[in-house]
Amino acid sequence: MPELKTVGLFLITALAEIVGCYLPYLWLREGKTIWLLVPGALSLALFAWLLSLHPTAAGRVYAAYGGVYIFMAIMWLWAVDGIRPTAWDVVGSLVALLGMGIIMFAPRAT
């Protein structure tokens, strides 16, 4: 089950990053309170810490994480922005997730 743990950790990590970027966006673009920067900064700190929990090389984690981030951003588009993903959004997300799987779970010599 290490694969499931890895994917779950990536999903939580992506959510932390998206929230950490969305809250300042609300302040900058939507005129919301500047106090949103505080939880935004905490969320980005959580994001960085979560990335450090993976037991493989940082570069591999960053590359694979990008695929999960793409998927989560499309889910955010739907859940928060209220915009239904197109078929191309879904296909692109699946390709990105496939890339993540190849990077993280391909057999390697130890």
pLDDT at 58: 86
Q: Where are the alpha helices (DSSP H) in 31-86?
A: 37-51, 58-79
> Any idea of the CA torsion for 37, 15, 92, 59, to the nearest 10 degrees?
90
By the 8 A CB rule, do 104 and 60 touch? yes
In a domain, 54, yes or no: yes
State if pTM tops 0.95. no
15 occurs within a structural domain: yes
Is position 79 within any domain?
yes
Range of the domain at 82: 2-105
- pLDDT of 110 reads 67
CA atoms within 13 A on the CB side of 70: 19
User: 95 in a domain, yes or no?
Assistant: yes
Q: Is residue 77 part of a domain?
A: yes
Residue 110 maps to a domain: no
Q: Does residue 66 sit within a domain? A: yes
Name the amino acid, one letter, at 96: A
Place of tokens 């997300």: 93
Asked if the structure places residue 83 within a domain, the reply is yes
- Count of domains forming the chain: 1
Are the CB atoms for 92 and 76 separated by under 8 Å? no
Block means of pLDDT (10 residues each) for the chain, 110 residues, are: 87 96 96 97 96 86 92 96 97 96 86
pLDDT at res. 57: 82
pLDDT of residue 3: 83
Task: Indicate the DSSP class of residue 50.
Answer: H
